[in-house]
Amino acid sequence: MADPNAVTNQAPPLQGVNFFTQDQALGDALRPHADLAKDSGLTAIGELAGTQEALSHALPANQHPPVLKTHDRYGHRVDEVEFHPSWHWLMDKAVGFGLQAAPWTSDRPAPHLARAAGFYVWSQVEPGHACPVSMTYAAVPALRTSDRLAAEWIPRLAAPEYDVRRLPVADKAGVLAGMGMTEKQGGSDVRSNLTTATPSRRGSEAAGAPSGVGAATPTGADDEYLLTGHKWFCSAPQADVFLVLAQAPEGLSCFVVPRVLADGNRNAFALQRLKDKLGNRSNASSEVEFHGTVGYRLGDEGTGVRTIIEMVAATRLDCVLGSAALMRRALVEATWHTSYRSAFGGLLRNKPAMRNVLADLALESEAATALGMRLAAAVDAAEAGDEQAKAFRRIALPLAKFWVCKRTPAMVAEALECLGGNGYVEESGLPLLFRESPLNSIWEGSGTVNALDVLRALRRPESLQAWLLEVGAAQGADPRLDAAVTDVLEALSDVSEAEAGARRLAARMAACLQASLLVRYSPPDVADAFVASRLAGDWGGVFGTLPRTTPFGGIVDRVL
């Protein structure tokens, strides 16, 4: 008689996998730009990421979401957010690895590429805590607008110390950054913001004082203002400092808003509620009101969008990396499960239909990873003054943000289905990934916003030239890719209905970028299958419809 309590034909827990060294697609994506294969820091991140200890913190951090505490027992406003211990464990590791802002002060080779690889690997453990990590990374290039504010904040933003104490920046070992841009009436249309910024009396007096008597810096970039208004979405409300957009007398401007002022008093920062979100539940997103909140102007009045755009660019890069990480983790889970689960007389992984699905998922993941790492390498080059890299980043970021983030929900859903009913229960971790999968396509500009940003970038001849140089590096290697590039150029010749066709154009241009990278740097079987399906149309539109002649086994074997 069969034992009803016996457990058979179930996959063991995912463990013993180094998320860095065993990711061949990541290795191929990094190799053209830097020799990181034996990087000790990345190897350590990958090793910890693949342990049951690390993976066991993901579900608790999401099952016990953050709680808003507006007042203490005596009625004083405290406006704090309380997190589950698993959140703090994840954050401590991420900051300790330097994933938050270390590249900006690092003298190691290819610091942004190395950080991108680490961020991609560690985000596979739990994606929600990557938000404050990303906000902190992205705040640095905007803060460099002011020498004084940069000197005050950047060293502590870059410090690998997770310090949750509510203290002035000078007294903290490390700090985190958040952002407040959107409002109820505007969303992505930040120029419709209603929050006002009025020069404070102290700031005005300093600006008019004689040199050497409390005068502001020559640029006036750190003038003190008082902010009044609200933010419909404030990212990472537990952070120490925020970049905020508000209407100054001369127009929309950017401000640095600390949670604690230099004298130790708390800044006015009234948290109204935490968002009850579809996913990203481990992370706090809030609504906040400003009532005479102290902020320090970053850049000239009226240049708020131009000042904060560097922060947006950096967060968009992390949206691409985060989505690629979700794809990779979902792919690993699907491959792991089907490698142990038998049905209809054999392992699922060996069944022809399942091999097609897994190979198709692997192609999507590899292409996303390759494009994300190429973008990170462009950041390193741009920081070194490479104008070509700057032009490439300008066009490729919105392309990648649109396409990779848009592809993620369908890809994760298909991976979940590979586990069948097992994938639909919370313990598998796949529902967490699925709820997270639409997020990056919405944050930092929805799909339509990014597609329109592609059109704006194309108004600058150097942007199109940068795209052509990148895809042209593979010219002649595959006639199907060459034909797709020609199609794009023909589409660009008719801009009469440019906005209506923005998404179609962005999708095609992004797929050409991915194909160019795979043709140059991935195994021929991977590149051939991607070009055949994504560019040449030999694909049924859903995962698992690759051409029957595709060498499925070799592509799937690369996953683990």
Q: Which phi-psi region, left, alpha or beta, contains residue 173 (left: φ > 0; alpha: ψ -120 to 50)?
A: alpha
d(CA 331, CA 266): 45
Backbone φ and ψ of 393, nearest 5°: -65, -35
Residue 542: alpha-carbon gap to chain centroid: 25
Q: How many CB atoms lie within 10 A of CB 142?
A: 25
Q: Give the residue-averaged pLDDT of 130-145.
A: 97
Q: What sign results for the dihedral spanned by CA atoms 530, 531, 533, 535?
A: positive
Question: How many helices and strands (H and E) does the chain possess?
Answer: 20, 11
Domain boundaries, the chain: 134-203+222-305, 306-559
Backbone φ and ψ of 414, nearest 5°: -65, -40
* Beta strands at 251-258 and 241-248: parallel, antiparallel or unpaired: antiparallel
What pLDDT was estimated at residue 493? Answer: 84
Q: Give the residue-averaged pLDDT of 139-159.
A: 97
What are the DSSP calls for 310-356, one per residue? HHHHHHHHHHHHHHHHHHHHHHHHHHHHHHH-EETTEEGGGSHHHHH
Residue 480 has pLDDT above 80, yes or no: yes
d(CA 171, CA 401): 37
**Which amino acid belongs to residue 320?**
V
* pTM of model > 0.75: yes
Residue 290: alpha-carbon gap to chain centroid: 27
Residue 206 has pLDDT above 90, yes or no: no
What pLDDT was estimated at residue 1? Answer: 73
pLDDT digits (tens, 9 = 90+) for 291-346: 999 999 999 999 999 999 989 999 999 999 999 999 999 999 999 999 999 999 99
Residue 426 has pLDDT above 50, yes or no: yes
CATH: 3.40.50.300, 2.40.110.20, 1.20.120.530, 3.40.50.620. Which one for 134-203+222-305? Answer: 2.40.110.20
Residue 400 has pLDDT above 90, yes or no: yes
Cβ-defined contacts of 88-92 (< 8 Å, 24+): 88/162, 88/164, 89/57, 90/57, 90/61, 90/125, 90/126, 90/129, 90/282, 91/129, 91/132, 91/133, 91/162, 92/162
CATH fold of 306-559: Butyryl-CoA Dehydrogenase, subunit A; domain 3 (1.20.140)
Helix, coil or strand: residue 247: strand
Q: What sign results for the dihedral spanned by CA atoms 498, 501, 505, 506?
A: positive
d(CA 264, CA 160): 23
pLDDT bracket for residue 420 (50, 70, 90): very high
Give residues with Cβ within 8 angstroms of 462, minimum separation 6: 387, 391
- Same fold yes or no, 134-203+222-305 and 306-559: no
Residue pair 183/232 in contact (Cβ under 8 Å)? The answer is yes
Residue 349 has pLDDT above 60, yes or no: yes
Q: How many CB atoms lie within 10 A of CB 546?
A: 23
Cβ-defined contacts of 150-158 (< 8 Å, 24+): 153/177, 153/241, 153/256, 154/101, 154/104, 154/105, 155/105, 157/100, 157/101, 157/104, 158/98, 158/100, 158/101, 158/102, 158/104, 158/105
pLDDT digits (tens, 9 = 90+) for 63-112: 999 999 999 999 999 999 999 999 999 999 999 999 999 999 999 999 99
pLDDT digits (tens, 9 = 90+) for 521-536: 999 999 999 999 999 9
> In the block, which residue shows the tokens 């090793």?
47
What pLDDT was estimated at residue 219? Answer: 36
